[in-house]
Amino acid sequence: DTAVSQTPKYLVTQMGNDKSIKCEQNLGHDTMYWYKQDSKKFLKIMFSYNNKELIINETVPNRFSPKSPDKAHLNLHINSLELGDSAVYFCASSNRGLNTEAFFGQGTRLTVV
């Protein structure tokens, strides 16, 4: 009964391809996030959705498009993948406005070759 689960855990793909990463949370949280951990190990927020509404978009290239079909799911679709997109992507969830901790998924290691 994983709280925040994302699939796949590993993804290797060629430049120019389009890929999606899925995320689901069963914690009843109203806010979900995507974070990116780059090669220098910095964890940086990309997007945040609250009740299916985009509330944070951190100057991410528009090749990245998050989609939230309901408040328990936040998927990340990436078009025209580039070498620089290689990173670990983490999904997270929390309850907005309560200053509580965010719960993270196990990460998806994306490698673009």
Partner 1 sequence: DQQVKQNSPSLSVQEGRISILNCDYTNSMFDYFLWYKKYPAEGPTFLISISSIKDKNEDGRFTVFLNKSAKHLSLHIVPSQPGDSAVYFCAAGASNQGGKLIFGQGTELSVKP
The region of 13-21, 48-56, 66-74, 78-86 touching partner 1 under the rule CB under 8 A is: 48-56
Rounded to whole angstroms, the Cα distance separating 113 from 50 reads 34
Stretch that binds partner 1, among 12-20, 61-69, 72-80, 86-94 (CB under 8 A): 86-94
Interacting residue with partner 1 among 60, 74, 102, 110 (CB under 8 A): 102
Q: How many helices (H) and strands (E) does the chain have?
A: 0, 11
Residue 47 C-beta: closest distance to partner 1, Å: 10
CB of 88 to partner 1, least distance (A): 9
How far CA 112 is from CA of 14, 68, 75, in Å, comes to: 5, 25, 19
